[in-house]
Amino acid sequence: MSATAGTQLQARIKESREKLDAHVREIVEWHFNPETGSPFWLDFAGKLDWDPRKEVRTYDDLDKFGFFQDEWLRGGPVRRWVPKAYSDSPIYVFETGGSTGVPKSRISVNDFRIDYEMFSDTLSDQYFPKGADWLMLGPSGPRRLRLAVEHLAQHRGGICFCVDLDPRWVIKLIKMGEMQMMEKYKQHVIDQAVTILKAHDNIKCMFATPKLLEALCEKVSLKKMGVTGVFCGGTEMTPQFHRFAVEELMEGAYFAPTYGNTLMGLATHKVPEPEDNWAIIYFPPNPRAIIDVVDPDEPSRLVDYGQTGRVRLTTLTKEFFMPRFLERDEAERERPCDQYPWDGVRNVRPFSRLQTSVVEGVY
Amino acid sequence: MLHIPIIRKGKPYKSIDVQRVPHFRTRETFVEISQANTGLISRDLRDQESPRAALEHLSTDELLAMSKQAAEYYMHDTLPVGDESQSPDDYVNQLSATTGMPHVLVRKNMNKIYGVMAEMEKVISGLTRGLDLKIIDQGYGVHEGHEVSFFPRTQSLGVILPSNSPGVHSLWIPSIAMKIPLVLKPGSSEPWSPYRIMQAMIKAGVPAEAFSYYPTDHGGSGAILRTCGRGMFFGDSASVGKYASDPRIELHGTGYSKVVIGEDLIDDWEKYLDIIVKSILENGGRSCINASGVWVPRKGREIAEALAQRMSEVIPRTVDDPQAQIAPFANPDIAARISAIVDQGLTEAGATDVTAKYRPNRIVDLEGATYLLPTIVHCESPEHPLANREFLFPYASVVEANQDSMPEIFGPTLVVTALTEDQKLINRLISSSLVDRLNIGPIPTMQIAWDQPHEGNLFEHLYARRAFQRMAAA
């Protein structure tokens, strides 16, 4: 990078940071203002000996809240998360996890639409043509993915066909050792997808989880099916999978890996460069969501660029405020780049210290 | 750094995911092994016809000649390993470095593998019970005066391999002579033998596309077993148990092999001590055909005592010591876990570690390597939790049981060496489905005859016979 380019990037990083700090002030004001805020955060603020609206001025000041506990999202009343400003709006509730016990819930009004419209801006019209129809091949049910992908398709002028997969049932089958039944269920899902793809020529774009994408490509050629762009996510993707997908599954279609969840939104990928050696590098939709990579033993401290640490999420929308949530993932901290002048993450994978308790990558 | 690639139908492929396998002593990375993702394996195995076609156009006689030649290459030549070359001595050193197996035991296993490749004609004859090999080539013919026809049940044989002992590789090698391509998943710390065997075969003229080699995880292993028409799976009881109801897969789990002495010969037990010691100790006690139990009607304590004395002479030695008899554990934690299981069992009344009085500890270290010393446990009852166990080191229980209750009392057993002339007991063993391989007389459990199929017959696993009639056209 030339000195001029470096200086320009530094200026953009500074600008994005100022924008983030201003956004933090706006969101904290919104969630802790009795006129607009949610019962949960107003109640939370009532127990503090400091006023978040006065004392939180920058992104770093969010440390004052401590770490967001995922237990807060398990169980009701779910309306305690609805900001007063949206109390008359139609409310969605989306769930994450939930193979055992009470799942985590997040309320939503329009966030899933906004997140996916922002994601849409990162997709190329060449590979994800406007007006083309989509296939959504992945979990629906209590998750937001189906509605979000459907909105993405509609936002781009298409219609979305959906094939469902219930990941909670898949996890149960695995725990019961019913591997043959799991395989039959996967084939049932794939058979439906193949039928849809063969019957509808205008499907050119699709969402699929990594495992379902592999299984689909064992049955059909994406090229022959007319698919030109694949948006993939939902579970861990390794660099080897990334390479395999691009070199062998896509047959010229564009592969767009993503990282995200119901709580955070959607982090998009940086277009791979040869020097990345197929590492998957994600950047969050700053300032609505921020991904930090922190020292697992001291999670308020960021690790250095290139170093491995635990993923820490912060969501800052008017519908949902989630500061400093420690995710069950680890990654390397990635430097800002021209396209995304804020921190990213490289090669996200399950947090190694928790690996024994996580059933990952089953769908 | 030496790197072992994936082999996709004969073509090397370097993966971004690599497993780093350490040297058993220094714990520093010794070799990097490319790891295949599940999707890559499944995708490759969509086409199993072309590798099969490549073998099909060769005659069985040609493949037998290639196998014989490959035996020489395997034993004596320098062959490729990744981008580097591997002499026979390199192979011994490398295999020993990642598994801890002493050189002398590696060379014994080499001889075993060499024997199968060099004697492939005899092996195939044993497996097919003397079938004219032209019948395999043309699919039909006359055998012992009868029209017969055989067809392949599969386009490939998927094999999930272990790391414990290279000798097991002799079981799948005949697949090539039977024209069935191989899809191999090597053991995580023993990538060497299948790779070298494959390279020797290719050098001898076997089409490279008949070999796929996928170092991978459990998901990848599952894809191999699911996708190949026939499979072979080496693993512990828990792993192979998942496939117990799948007739496509030949399972090679825990052996629980035993020496049984009948009431008629029990007073002469001392005559058989060498046979028993050999059965327990040979190959470092790492094989499923090593005896892990000595079942007797009486005199258990005396026998256990005598075995313990003999076993206490076994000491850890360096890997290059020609006297070495036992191997260290590549992962010392596993040794500690195994020893803890034995100790846990001993807390239950009715069992004694008879070897304990001859040595201070079961676990010992030598030059940074961790060993488990041979252990003989006397069990007063067949119900004791240590009576019917098998571990990855020379371990045997000596159990007293009524011989009329055998073999039901000890359950599924890979090899039984029966030291008896009591026809009633012999008949019970012969007619039992619990006994896989039966040696009658003073034959160590470890002694293999290549014309005797081991744990299922590979020919019958890969080929089926159909009813067949033929009449010349009028």
Q: B43–A241: do the CB atoms touch at under 8 Å? A: no
Would the pLDDT of A273 be above 80? Answer: yes
Quick one: closest CA in B to A213, which residue? B39
Region(s) of chain B under CATH 3.40.309.10: 257-440
Q: Is the pLDDT of residue A281 over 80?
A: yes
How far B182 CA sits from the closest chain A CA (Å)?
A: 21
pLDDT of residue A10: 94
CB spacing of A240 vs B37 below 8 angstroms: yes
Show residues of chain A in contact with B18, CB under 8 Å: none
Residue labelled with tokens 């809240």: A65
For A238, the closest of B17, B222, B226 (CB atoms) is B17
- Mutation pick from A241, A242, A251 vs chain B, by most beta carbons of B within 10 Å, is A241
Tell me which residue of A168, A173, A160 sits closest to A208, measured CA to CA: A160
pLDDT at residue number B286: 86
| CB < 8 Å to B8, chain A | none
The A residues from 131 to 160 touching B (CB cutoff 8 Å) are none
Residue A361 has pLDDT above 70, yes or no: no
Q: Which of A215, A240, A361 lies closest to B16 in CB terms? A: A240
Distance CA B448, CA B115 (A): 11
Residue A125 has pLDDT above 80, yes or no: yes
Nearest CB to B226; choose among A177, A183, A278: A183
Residue B23 in tokens: 């040297």
Q: Is B397 exposed, middle or buried (0-12, 13-18, 19+ CB in 10 A)?
A: buried
Name the burial class of residue A245, with classes exposed (0-12), middle (13-18) and buried (19+) by CB atoms within 10 angstroms of its CB: buried
Query: Which helix (H) or strand (E) segment is A265 a member of?
Result: strand A265-269
Q: Which of A214, A346, A362 to mutate to test the interface with B (most CBs of B within 10 A)?
A: A214
Write out the H or E segment, with its range, that includes residue A54: helix A52-55
Task: Please state which CATH number belongs to domain B257-440.
Answer: 3.40.309.10
Q: Name the CATH topology of B3-253+456-466.
A: Aldehyde Dehydrogenase; Chain A, domain 1 (3.40.605)
Q: Which of B17, B43, B226 sits opposite A240 (nearest CB)?
A: B17
CA separation for the pair A171, B377 (Å, rounded): 42
d(CA B120, CA B128): 12
Asked if B250 contacts B219 with a C-beta cutoff of 8 angstroms, the reply is no
Chain A within 8 Å of B38 (Cβ-Cβ)?
A: yes
Q: How far apart are CA A213 and CA B410, in angstroms?
A: 48
From-to residues of CATH 3.40.605.10 in chain B = 3-253+456-466
Q: Would you call A59 helix, strand, or coil by DSSP?
A: coil
Q: How confident is the model at residue A6 (pLDDT cuts 50, 70, 90)?
A: confident
Q: Identify the burial level of A308 via C-beta atoms within 10 angstroms of its C-beta, where 0-12 means exposed, 13-18 middle and 19 or more buried.
A: middle
The Cα of B160 is separated from the nearest Cα of chain A by a number of Å equal to: 17
| Lookup result for tokens 């800052």 | A316
Q: Phi-psi region for residue B459, left (φ > 0), alpha (ψ -120 to 50) or beta?
A: alpha
pLDDT at B349: 94
Name the nearest CA neighbour of B54 among B231, B206, B177. Answer: B206
Residues of B in contact with A235 (CB under 8 A): none
Residue A363 pLDDT exceeds 50? no
CB A145 within 8 A of CB A163: no
Second CATH level (architecture) for the domain A3-357: 3-Layer(aba) Sandwich (3.40)
Which contiguous run of DSSP H or E holds residue A164? strand A160-164
Q: How far apart are CA B396 and CA B328, in angstroms?
A: 18
The model's pLDDT over A206-263, given as tens digits with 9 standing for 90+, comes to 999 999 999 999 999 999 999 999 999 988 899 999 999 999 999 999 999 999 888 8
- Would you state the pLDDT for residue A177? 79
Taking the CA of residue A176 and the nearest CA in chain B, the distance in Å comes to 11
Are the C-beta atoms of B371 and B363 separated by less than 8 Å? yes
Looking at the complex, report in whole angstroms how far the Cα of residue A239 sits from the nearest Cα belonging to chain B: 7
Closest CA to B154 of B464, B469, B460, B462: B462
In chain A, domain spans: 3-357
Q: Which of B15, B219, B242 is facing A177, going by the closest CB pair? A: B242
Assembly ipTM: 0.84
Is residue B15 within 8 angstroms of chain A, CB to CB?
Answer: yes
Q: Which of A147, A244, A255, A138 is nearest to A186 (CA)?
A: A138
Q: How far is CA A97 from CA A94, A137, B329, in A?
A: 10, 18, 39
Percent of chain A with pLDDT over 70: 96
**Residues from chain B contacting residue A245 (CB–CB below 8 Å):** 39
Amino acid identity, residue A95? Answer: E
The whole-angstrom distance between B39's CA and the closest CA on chain A is 6
The distance of B462 to chain A (nearest Cα, Å) reads 22
Contact A179 B17 (CB under 8 A): no
Angle, alpha carbons A307-A312-A318 (nearest 5°): 140
Contact residues, chain A, for B222 at CB < 8 Å = 179
Q: What is the dihedral of CA B20, B22, B26, B30, to 10 degrees?
A: -70
B226 touches chain A (CB under 8 A): yes
Pairing of strands A308-316, A321-334: antiparallel
Nearest to B42 among A214, A240, A277 (CB): A214
How many CB pairs (< 8 A) connect A and B? 40
Answer yes or no: are the C-beta atoms of B360 and B129 closer than 8 Å: no
Give A338→chain B minimum CA distance, Å.
27
Q: Residues with Cβ < 8 Å from B291, sequence gap 6 or more?
A: B257, B258, B259, B276, B279, B280, B396, B415, B417, B445
Residue indicated by tokens 């995200």: A260
Q: Does A238 touch chain B (CB under 8 A)?
A: yes
CA-CA distance, A85 to A61, in Å (whole number)?
Answer: 25
Please tell me if residue B349 touches chain A, with a CB cutoff of 8 Å.
no
In the predicted model, is pLDDT for residue A40 greater than 80? yes
Chain B CB within 8 Å of residue A277 CB: yes
Task: Give mean pLDDT in consecutive 10-residue pieces for chain B, a chain of 474 residues.
Answer: 97 97 93 96 95 96 97 98 97 95 94 94 90 92 91 97 87 96 96 98 98 95 94 82 84 90 95 96 90 95 96 93 91 91 94 93 90 96 94 94 92 93 95 92 86 74 90 73
Contact list in A for residue B38 (CB cut-off 8 A) is: 214
